[in-house]
Amino acid sequence: MRGVILDCDSLGPADLDLSALYDLPVDWTVYPDCESSRVIERIADADIVLTNKTPIDAAALAQSPKLKMVSLLATGTNIIDLKAASAASVIVCNAVNYGTASVMQHVWGLILALTTNLPSYSRNAINGSWAESQLFCLLDFPVRELEGKTLGIVGAGDLGSAVARVAQAFGMQVAFAALPHRQYQDDLPRFPLHQLLSMVDVLSLHCPLTEQTQGLIGASELALMKSSAILINSARGGLIDESALKQALLSGALAGAGLDVLSEEPPVAGNVLIDETVPNLIITPHTAWAAVEARQRLVGQMVENINAFLSGKPLRQVN
C-alpha cells in the first residue's frame, strides 16, 4: 500500500510525534509542499493521499487509477472535487473538532484585542506616548465591556458552540444565524442573517465555504451592522467581500475586524486588506488551529482514518 503526503510542512511537523502515522502498514512518500502542477505526477501511483491545502481536482483523480482514499488534514473539503472522487470510488475523509480549543481561544484573543484596543495601547506604551502623558494613564482609544453585549454566530457546529460558551461566561447574549435554504432541528436562538446583523456587537463566522456562503458578508450586509460592531472570521476568507470590509473600516461604518483567513493564502498576489492605513484591523496568518495539542490530535485522526479504511470501515467519510 503506497501513501503520499503532499504538504507535510503545513502541519509544522518539527514539534509533533508522527511515529504512529509512519508505523502504519503504508509505504509513505512525504513531500514538504506541493505545487498544484505537480499533484498528478505525485499521486499517480498512490493508494492513499494525505493533503492539507493542496487541491486534488477531477483531472488528478482521473489520472490516479490506484487511488482509494484521500484523508484531509483539515475539516474543510473545498480543495477536493468530491463528486469526481465519488465517481472514481475514492473515499474522502477529513478531520473534525481537533482544533476546537485552539480556534476558540484565538477567536477570543481577537475579540478581546479589538474591544480593548490592545494593539493600539501597546504601541503607544512603547513609542513614548505614555511617557509624554500628563496623566498616569492613556485614554486615547475606546475600550468597551463585553458584558451585556450581543455575540452573533454564523455556524453552530463545534467551533461556534465553543465560542458561544465563552461568551456566556463574559455575560454576553448569544444569537445564531438562520441561513436561507437551511433546515434547523435545534432550539438555539436563531434569526435571519439580515436581522442578526443589525442586533450584534460582535459577529463571528464559523461556517464552511460553499457556493451558498461565498461572499456571505458583503457591502449590503456590513451596512446592516452597527458602527460600533466588530467582525471576526476564523473560517474561510471567501466568506467576506474583502474590498467591502476595507471600505467599511476606512469609513468608520464598522469598528473593527479580526481575521485569521484571507481569500488567497498565502497572499502572494497581495490583498486589499493588507494595508497599514486600514484602522482597527488585526490579521493573523491562519494560525487559529496551530496549537501543538491541536495539530497532534489532527495527526491522531489521520491514523484513525487510515486504520478504519484498511479495516473496511471508513471513518469521517465526507463523500
202-229 confidence digits (pLDDT tens): 999 999 888 899 999 999 999 999 999 9
DSSP state of 173: E
Pairing of strands 190-192, 173-178: parallel
- The verdict on 88 and 57 lying in the same domain is yes
**Pair 301, 218 in one domain:** no
How many domains does one find in the chain?
2
318 lies in a domain? no
| Domain of 297, in residue numbers | 2-98+292-310
Same structural domain, 133 and 275: yes
Considering the domain architecture, whether residues 61 and 21 belong to the same structural domain is answered as yes
In terms of domains, do 115 and 164 share one? yes
Answer yes or no: is 315 within a domain: no
118 and 167 in a single domain? The answer is yes
Same domain, 191 and 93: no
The pTM score is: 0.90
> Are 127 and 267 in a shared domain?
yes
Whether 41 is covered by a domain: the verdict is yes
Mean of the pLDDT values across residues 11-37? 97
Mean pLDDT of the chain: 96
Average the pLDDT over 51-59 and give the result.
96
Residues 237 and 262 in one domain: yes
Rounded to whole angstroms, the Cα distance separating 288 from 74 reads 13
Catalytic residues: 236, 265, 286
Report CA dihedral (288, 293, 299, 301) to the nearest 10 degrees. -90
What pLDDT does 165 receive? Answer: 97
Among 196, 201, 227, 206, smallest CA distance to 144 is for: 201
Instruction: Look up the CATH number of the domain holding residue 298.
Output: 3.40.50.720
